[in-house]
Amino acid sequence: MDIYEDRKRNENNTESVLDQIDFEIELTVRDIINFDYIILLIAGLKDIDSDDLKKKKTDEILKIFDRDIQLRKKKDLIKQFIEENLPKINGKHEVETKFNQFWNEEKNKKLQNLANRENIPIEKLEELVNQYLFNQRLPRSQEIVDSMTLAPKYLERKTIIERIKSAIQSIVDVFEW
């Protein structure tokens, strides 16, 4: 009788086993899917000779990016790297270096486009992004205005600042692991 009462009392205080398993699986997925894991998967494609199998494995890699909203933002660039750059790489050992080179080039293109579009010197834009990464907060409105070559007209200021903040946020979401 004591065992029954003890067990009944513990059942009311604990989570279901399935809830615990779901949580652990989700935690594992978040822990495993990082830069090194993605590079390992992409490098593994170099060992596959069959085009059909390579396409299937590529699709499996890209499906990983659908699981998480932060990863989803990186999916198109990963796909572009696999399709355009991976065939040009000679061996698995070069994948990480070439991937980093590709990633940095794409990030620089996005930053340069934003800088040109919004009349911000690239050095000042990079400084705003680096401050955002360090402080974990978007630049203040005045910091953005101060970085611009030409201060926007007062009536346009809010729209322009929000557009720049959004673009910085987007670039960081895509390019930071």
- pLDDT tens sequence for the chain (177 residues): 556 565 555 555 544 555 555 544 554 555 557 888 899 999 999 988 899 999 999 999 999 888 888 889 999 999 999 999 999 999 899 999 999 999 999 999 999 999 999 999 999 999 999 999 999 999 999 999 999 999 999 999 999 999 999 999 999 999 998
Runs of H (alpha helix) within the chain:
2-13, 17-32, 35-44, 51-64, 69-72, 75-80, 95-118, 122-135, 141-147, 154-175
164 by Cβ neighbours in 10 Å (0-12 / 13-18 / 19+) ranks as buried
**Residue of 52, 107, 113 whose CA lies nearest to 74:** 107
Domain residue ranges of the chain, discontinuous segments joined by +:
33-175
Global pTM exceeds 0.85: no
Please tell me whether residue 39 adopts helix, strand or coil conformation: helix
Amino acid residing at 27: L
